Amino acid sequence: MDGPLAGRRALVTGGAAGIGGAIAVALARAGADVGLTYLTHDPAKVVAQIEEAGRRAAPRQLDARRSWEVDEAVAGVADELGGLDVLVNNVGGLVQRRAFAATDDAALHRVLDVNLASALYTSRSALRFLPDGGRIVSVGAQAGRGGGGTGSVVYATAKAALEGFTRALARELGPRAITVNLVAPGFVAGTPMHAEHTPDAAQRAAVATTVLGAPGTPEDVAAAVVYLASPGARYVTGTVLDVNGGARFS
């Protein structure tokens, strides 16, 4: 198949629904074979779309908060696809809205583990397989850039930490020409996170902050990831790419 990612092998964590699902399908349509991890969402629809694009799909059930499961899943995908060229750290979520003063240790670690530790675990594991010139793209959030909304202090903190991780790892991997970047979505309609945790009034308010006057879509984020994973982005690293409709300018 022709495409900017023809012949590449990619892994998308949390790739069975929402933004992750759109990323997995977009990578396949760009020519990549795609491994995807999931925990509770059924991956069947995304797998079918990858195969409809003429590419191989390698789904793996995974709790990305557990480093040993991450190691097994990454190795399994790399073995099934014959290698790994692109990693997309997409696992994440608000988990719940809670005032910081009322956030106990268990709740704090649930948010940090799913949004930050998961990306560190997966990136560390993937480095055993990524060749020189490989790609790592993480999915952050506008909350990490501007502090987030009510009840999201720990979530915003974790997403901000992903920015520091991105820049530090980009420096470390520069000699191998492995680029490391982050996409920071603003309000994206139709995702499980906002459906579960953001009231309709808050969603409308988020759209009103954009200069484009419209919410983003998972496909908007996926297009940015495909670019950063492509040969055309070989000289882009340590960068945060905002995909937020102008709600916030870098």
**Residue 45 CA: distances (Å) to CA of 19, 21, 24, 41, 211:** 14, 9, 11, 10, 33
| Active-site entry in 38, 155, 227, 235 | 155
Q: Output the six-digit token pair for 61.
A: 């059930």
3-class DSSP string for 22-49: HHHHHHHHCCCEEEEEECCCCCHHHHHH
Of 120, 89, 66, the C-alpha closest to 11 is 89
Asked about 155 being catalytic, the answer comes back as yes
The answer to whether 182 and 241 have CB atoms below 8 angstroms apart is yes
The DSSP line for 119-169 is: HHHHHHHHTTTPPTT-EEEEE--THHHH--STT-HHHHHHHHHHHHHHHHH
Under 8 Å CB-to-CB from 173, ≥6 apart: which residues? 127, 136, 179, 180
The pairing of beta strand 33-38 with beta strand 135-139: unpaired
Under 8 Å CB-to-CB from 156, ≥6 apart: which residues? 141, 143, 144, 147, 148
Separation of alpha carbons 90 and 79, rounded Å? 21
Q: DSSP 3-state assignment of 173?
A: helix
Give the residue numbers marked as catalytic: 155
